[in-house]
Amino acid sequence: MPAIDFYYIPESPPCRAVEMVASIAGVKLNKHYVNLFTEENLKEDFVKLNPTHKLPFIVDGDLKMGESRAIMCYLVNKYMPNDKTLYPKDPEKRAKIDELLHFDVGSLYVTGLRLLRPRLFGPHKELDPEAEKAFKDNLEILENHLAKSTGKFYLGDNITLGDITLATSLTFLNALGYDVSGYKRLSAYLERLKKSIPNYGEINDGPLKSMTDYVRTKQEG
């Protein structure tokens, strides 16, 4: 199986979600580190390859594509044709996974990043109350769903692409200093994911520690 060219920064939750799916699918990634903090993604050669200049981005033969959730779906569709759980072909099951993927990127991740971006890129230590309320509303949605669920994971007893992207989003926001331990079911769910997703620690532990240390240094500075 040829390697896929993978343009990424390991601290990015969407990049790590793609890494985990590739690991599960047995796809080798030819990694190209792109430093967003020094704006390497805006260099002419990279913009020529990837006009959106966003990460992650892959090149698989003639295919060039971005958007992490789309990449995750593509990897399963192409390299796991017999998959029945991660992204099943049943229309109703797949629809619920798609719904969760869109909720993550359109609601949870965006409100969390809006809340915590000042800690990452700016000098601000205090959280904006309006942004925090929007983020908490989404955490409550997850908590309430898990309260009604009888399965180990968000949509049942099998890990799906939706679980993987939620895991990276929530642990990243926690690394930026937002404590979600008050959401007991959500916290327990995250612990189950960490233990159940193959190669979770190998892919996530280092980048998450790096982000935690970075934010702590900024807050103390």
Q: pLDDT for 177-215, tens place per residue?
A: 888 999 999 999 999 999 999 999 999 999 999 988 888
47 and 132 housed in the same domain:
no
The residue whose two tokens read 């099998």 is: 158
Is 23 marked active-site? no
Q: Which residue has the higher pLDDT, 2 or 60?
A: 60
CATH code where residue 194 lies: 1.20.1050.10
pTM above 0.85, yes or no: yes
Is the alpha carbon torsion for 135, 141, 147, 149 positive or negative?
Answer: negative
The three-state secondary structure class of 165 is helix
Give mean pLDDT, residues 33-61. Answer: 97
Which domain does 18 fall in, by range? 4-79
pLDDT-derived band of residue 118, with 50, 70 and 90 as boundaries?
Answer: confident
137 and 160 housed in the same domain:
yes
The per-residue pLDDT of the chain, averaged, comes to: 93
**Which of these three, 79, 99, 122, is where a domain ends?**
79
pLDDT of residue 183: 96
**Residue 38: is its pLDDT beyond 80?**
yes
71 and 99 housed in the same domain:
no
In a domain, 84, yes or no: no
135 and 186 housed in the same domain:
yes
pLDDT-derived band of residue 124, with 50, 70 and 90 as boundaries?
Answer: low
**Which of these three, 34, 54, 79, is where a domain ends?**
79
**Residue 167: is its pLDDT beyond 80?**
yes
Give mean pLDDT, residues 37-51. Answer: 96
**Residue 220: is its pLDDT beyond 90?**
no
Q: Are 160 and 196 in contact (CB under 8 A)?
A: no
Catalytic residue among 12, 68, 107, 149: 12
Q: Are 73 and 160 in contact (CB under 8 A)?
A: no
Give mean pLDDT, residues 52-63. Answer: 98
Percent of the chain with pLDDT over 70: 97
Per the structure, how many domains does the chain have? 2
**Which of these three, 79, 113, 135, is where a domain ends?**
79
Give mean pLDDT, residues 53-65. Answer: 98
pLDDT of residue 47: 98
